[in-house]
Structure 1
């Protein structure tokens, strides 16, 4: 595809205008898949698809008949529709689907779907980008990952003939439906579940930072508070109108003050542990809990703490911590 035509703004414009009205079927299929996967059409529809997948898992040879089944599902309804039109002496259905006119509601819906798809693809790329250095031997984790993969590969080789593939694929295929069930999503949004998730994230971040400590950092940590510690700072935001915005505009959370909360001056002889960064207190332990998923603790205009869902919120704060250590005199020089 990259060798067919040279780059041209005119060609790009023409092809994009052709693509927008013809992309509706792709997004229609994606919407139907989302409805089934997210249980939006009721439990009967999703359960029927789950039963069909389970049937294919136990009779995998039936997959060879799927192309026939898909085409028959298109041919038979259209044949019945044509027969009904002939019996009623009505005009037959069109042979091809009409394309939406540029500027129409359907055309704008396709354009919006393309916009959202581009954002989703960009989010996936940004999500995968931090993992690439670990796979290209740019970090210290590349060697342990390589060893783990080689070890598990060699261990799985003799076990492959004994793995029950049908139950394995059945479990792997039905697991997404169970994870997207409304009850599961409600449990995931429970405050206790969020607290456990935040606790796991903090433990993972702390373990990652400990693994990156240099020998001199471990030596300073062993000496206790005389050579090892941490500093904390608070990030503050208030709910107010942006500067220059009309009174009818919506309020937004804006930082308080012009000085960054992370500009912390250390006592001479102390330095931040590198390459660590500031770590957010996601649990809100400094306020006795009550933080949201991002670590914000909300308060009213008087500074009294409120719940994440309470009304009257005017201020919000969250604590950040960073470890420091006393640099030996030889290293300071």
Structure 2
């Protein structure tokens, strides 16, 4: 298909829509002119030579980006598809965060070019810090240690440090850039006139500008960014390999021993933190850390570690493993719990026989919430359908009848029931004559013309002595479960 058909397929808009041309961002302009309006497109007759070839290649790349962008929009889910956002009162200011654009190849390429053109200042700062810490110039490193020493001895100077950095690192160099000294080789320098900041500015103000694309600085930033990503990946892998195995309890004995040491250290620091001379500790620690970066000191430390410490590492590790295996005792058996189920039976309306109803997790006593609300009990009709809780499995093969029926009744403070302490250990509902009433019932009246109070069900066992019971009875079955081991997830 031609370029016009491919562009229409990629954009998904009508070719005569004015919005398709006005809303399309120009991501290919120079980074130095981010706020300038988009220049008008040149005609094909003006695009000649090398510039015309670059423009044609860029136009084809933009068309391919739009095609791939439309395909990725169908594949990559948005944030709203896999998570539900919860809005709270007063979150109106954070509405801009939810309106951030989704992944887009054109936007990604444009933002990367802008980022790479501006990240050079970070790499320059990183290079200067590395030069100071590696003792490239001993005077600079000693100056840093002197400032660090003053801050350690008098921590209140820490609040003066940002002001000093702004004055000596920003304002004074900017002023000297506007009022430079006479260059060498001129008459003023040969006559030793000296530097004088008086008079009008002699040079333009120094500004920070992004580097131009396809320049040496642009590719230098790409090189530094590539190396920085590699350093971060290597450091991340080393930290994960060093810390994760001893903290994720993959080796429970080792992680438990480390947890014990950290707990003891935390208790000790809670007591002794106010006694330790923190100023001298930080002062000495800073000098030691910076001093270890000196090339001569680094060679001495490497030789001492190779000759003296490395042979003792195996002995120390062996002693630690022996101490862990002998003193750290772990539970070998899985955790076990007792689960319960209540067998409910209901009295038939005709002959008064008990009919098996279902197995329920609640006793469905007369004062339970489902009973008062008139709801039916919930459960399963067969014993075999009772399943263990999630992440647990049966530890015993069969259910056991709870012979101490009075205990679980008293623990739940259940009233209005009759407890059977022998036999099958049923717990019956006490019969209430109000349940038998239907239609119009004559209410007994005493001598004073008031209604007699109807006796309510009592806590005692069959207090009325009539032998009549309610419509429901239940008994408790118990069974042990053990925690199921989680399957090992493949890495």
Task: Look up the match of 1:19.
Answer: 115
CA contact (8 A) 1:38 1:181 kept: yes
Task: Look up the match of 1:46.
Answer: 141
Task: Look up the match of 2:266.
Answer: 153
Q: Residues 189 and 173 of structure 1: is their aligned pair in 2 closer, same or farther, counting only changes over 3 Å?
A: closer
Match of 2:217 among 106, 123, 127: 106
- The 5-angstrom pairing of residues 232-251 of structure 1 reads none
CA contact (8 A) 1:37 1:176 kept: no
Q: Tell me, in whole angstroms, the C-alpha distance in 2 between the residues paired with 1:91 and 1:83.
A: 6
Task: Look up the match of 1:77.
Answer: 173
Structure 2: segments with no counterpart, 5+ residues: 1-95, 182-196, 327-491
Deviation at 1:94, TM superposition (A): 4.2
Structure 1: segments with no counterpart, 5+ residues: 215-333
- The 5-angstrom pairing of residues 94-173 of structure 1 reads 94-130=205-241, 131-140=243-252, 141-173=254-286
Q: Residues 15 and 129 of structure 1: is their aligned pair in 2 closer, same or farther, counting only changes over 3 Å?
A: same
Deviations 1:280-323 (A, max 9, x none): xxxxxxxxxxxxxxxxxxxxxxxxxxxxxxxxxxxxxxxxxxxx
RMSD of aligned alpha carbons: 2.9
CA contact (8 A) 2:133 2:141 kept: yes
- The 5-angstrom pairing of residues 1-333 of structure 1 reads 4-41=100-137, 43-73=138-168, 74-84=170-180, 92-130=203-241, 131-140=243-252, 141-190=254-303, 193-203=305-315
| Greater RCO (Cα-Cα under 8 Å, separation 6 or more) | 1
CA contact (8 A) 1:82 1:92 kept: yes
Deviation at 1:83, TM superposition (A): 2.8
- What TM-score does the superposition give when structure 2 sets the normalisation length? 0.39
Secondary structure of the residue aligned to 1:84 is coil
Q: Tell me, in whole angstroms, the C-alpha distance in 2 between the residues paired with 1:7 and 1:208.
A: 50
- What TM-score does the superposition give when structure 1 sets the normalisation length? 0.57
CA contact (8 A) 1:50 1:174 kept: yes
Deviation at 1:139, TM superposition (A): 1.5
- Structure with greater proportional helix content: 1
CA contact (8 A) 2:135 2:141 kept: yes
Deviation at 1:57, TM superposition (A): 0.7
Secondary structure of the residue aligned to 2:282 is helix
Aligned pair count reads: 212
Deviation at 1:175, TM superposition (A): 1.7
Secondary structure of the residue aligned to 1:7 is coil
Deviation at 1:56, TM superposition (A): 0.7
